[in-house]
C-alpha cells in the first residue's frame, strides 16, 4: 500500500533519507570527493567559457566585457568554404578509426586467447602495449624518417631496387590509410587488453561443454566468446561514437605538418580550428566550433544509446 505524504512532509522525508544516506556511506562519498572535485574543476568550471562562442572576444575587454554577436560565430563556420570538406573528413577518419579500432583489437584479443605458451603470450602482450607509450611526437619523427624524400627509409629501399625516389607527401587519400595504420599500430595492443579481460571473464565450463558437443574453436568463438563479450563491444562502440566529431589534431598535424597538398582528406574540424588559432586567432569562432562539436557528439551518443537500448539493452550506457 502506498502512503501519501503532504508536500512539506515529503520534502522532510527526502532530506532525512539524504542525511541518512550520507551518514551511512560517508566513507564512500569521501573517496569519491577527489574525483568529483576533478570533474568540477576541469570539466564543469571551464563550461563558463562557452559564453565566448556568442561574443566577439577581445583580450582588452575580457570574457564579460566583449560585445555580444549572437550566432554570427556559428554562421561563419557554416558559411566557410571549408565546412563541407572538414565535416566529411572528420566523419571519414573517425568512422574508419572506430571500425578498425574495434575489429583489430578484438581480433588480437581472440588470437592472444589462443596462445597458451606462457612466455610467447606474456612477451607479445607486453610488446604490443609499447607503442601506446610512445609520444605522438616520437611517432611522427619515426614516420618522417620512413617517408622523407631525401633521407627516408622508403626511398632508400626504392633506390636499392633501382626505382626513382617518390615524394610520399603529395597524395592526401594515401595519408588517410597511413594515419589509420599508424593509429592502429599505436593503440590496438592497448585496446585489446579490454577485450582480453572480457574474454577471460567467460566461464570455462561453457567451452568444455561445447567441446563435448563437438564444437571446434571457430564455433566456440562464434557461439560463446563473441556473445560473451558482446556487451563490452557495444559499450565501447557507443563510447567511440561519442567522439565521432573529434580527431586528434595534434597527431594529424605532427604527421602531415604544414603541407597544403595533404589537407584535402586530412583537414578535420580540429585541424581547421588549430589552423585558425595559428593564423589570426579568433577565440569566439573557435569556441563556437568547439561547442558545435560537443553538441554533435552529445546528440550522437544519445541517439546511438537510444538505438542500443531498443536493440540490445545490456549494451546501453544509460
Partner 1 sequence: MNSIKINNANLEKHVKRSFSDCVWKWTSYAIVIFFALICLVPFLLVIIILSLIPQNL
Residues at the interface with partner 1 (CB under 8 A): 107-108, 110-115, 117, 120-121, 123-124, 127-128, 130-131, 134, 138-139, 142, 145, 153, 185, 188-189, 214, 216-218
Measure Cα distances from 144 to 63, 149, 255, 256 in Å: 41, 9, 8, 9
CB of 144 to partner 1, least distance (A): 12
Measure Cα distances from 235 to 106, 194, 224, 225, 300 in Å: 14, 11, 18, 16, 14
124 or 232: whose CB is closer to partner 1? 124
CB of 98 to partner 1, least distance (A): 20
131 or 284: whose CB is closer to partner 1? 131
Sequence-distant (≥ 6) Cβ neighbours of residue 48 within 8 angstroms: 63
Q: Which of 294, 299, 306 is nearest to 269 (CA)?
A: 294
CB of 224 to partner 1, least distance (A): 14
101 or 131: whose CB is closer to partner 1? 131
66 or 113: whose CB is closer to partner 1? 113
CB of 123 to partner 1, least distance (A): 7
| CB-count exposure of residue 180 (10 Å: 0-12, 13-18, 19+) | middle
CB-based contact 251:298 (threshold 8 Å):
no
CB-based contact 17:23 (threshold 8 Å):
no
68 or 133: whose CB is closer to partner 1? 133
CB of 77 to partner 1, least distance (A): 38
Amino acid at each position: 500500500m502506498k502512503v501519501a505524504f503532504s508536500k512539506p512532509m515529503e520534502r522532510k522525508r527526502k532530506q532525512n533519507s539524504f542525511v541518512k544516506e550520507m551518514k551511512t556511506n560517508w566513507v564512500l562519498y569521501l573517496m569519491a570527493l577527489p574525483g568529483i572535485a576533478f570533474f568540477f574543476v576541469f570539466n564543469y568550471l571551464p563550461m563558463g567559457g562557452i559564453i565566448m562562442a556568442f561574443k566577439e572576444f577581445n583580450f582588452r575587454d575580457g570574457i564579460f566585457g566583449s560585445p555580444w554577436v549572437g550566432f554570427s560565430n556559428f554562421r561563419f563556420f557554416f558559411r566557410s568554404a571549408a565546412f563541407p570538406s572538414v565535416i566529411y573528413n572528420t566523419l571519414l577518419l573517425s568512422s574508419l578509426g572506430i571500425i578498425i579500432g574495434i575489429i583489430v583489437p578484438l581480433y588480437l584479443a581472440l588470437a592472444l586467447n589462443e596462445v597458451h605458451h606462457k612466455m610467447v603470450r606474456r612477451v607479445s602482450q607486453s610488446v604490443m602495449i609499447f607503442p601506446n607509450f610512445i609520444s605522438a611526437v616520437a611517432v611522427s619523427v619515426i614516420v618522417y624518417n620512413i617517408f622523407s624524400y631525401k633521407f627516408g627509409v622508403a626511398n632508400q629501399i626504392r633506390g636499392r631496387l633501382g626505382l626513382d625516389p617518390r615524394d610520399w607527401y603529395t597524395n592526401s587519400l594515401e595519408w588517410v590509410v597511413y594515419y589509420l595504420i599508424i593509429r592502429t599500430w599505436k593503440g590496438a595492443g592497448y585496446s585489446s587488453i579490454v577485450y582480453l579481460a572480457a574474454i577471460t571473464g567467460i566461464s570455462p565450463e561453457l567451452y568444455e561443454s561445447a567441446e563435448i558437443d563437438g564444437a571446434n574453436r571457430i564455433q566456440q568463438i562464434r557461439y560463446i566468446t563473441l556473445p560473451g563479450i558482446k556487451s563490452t563491444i557495444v559499450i565501447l562502440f557507443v563510447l567511440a561514437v561519442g567522439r565521432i566529431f573529434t580527431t586528434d589534431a595534434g597527431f594529424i598535424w605532427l604527421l602531415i605538418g604544414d603541407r597544403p597538398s595533404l589537407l584535402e582528406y586530412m583537414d578535420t574540424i580540429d585541424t581547421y580550428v588549430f589552423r585558425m588559432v595559428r593564423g589570426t586567432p579568433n577565440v569566439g569562432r573557435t569556441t563556437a566550433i568547439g561547442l558545435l562539436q560537443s553538441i554533435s557528439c552529445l546528440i550522437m551518443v544519445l541517439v546511438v544509446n537510444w538505438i542500443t537500448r531498443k536493440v540490445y539493452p545490456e549494451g546501453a550506457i544509460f
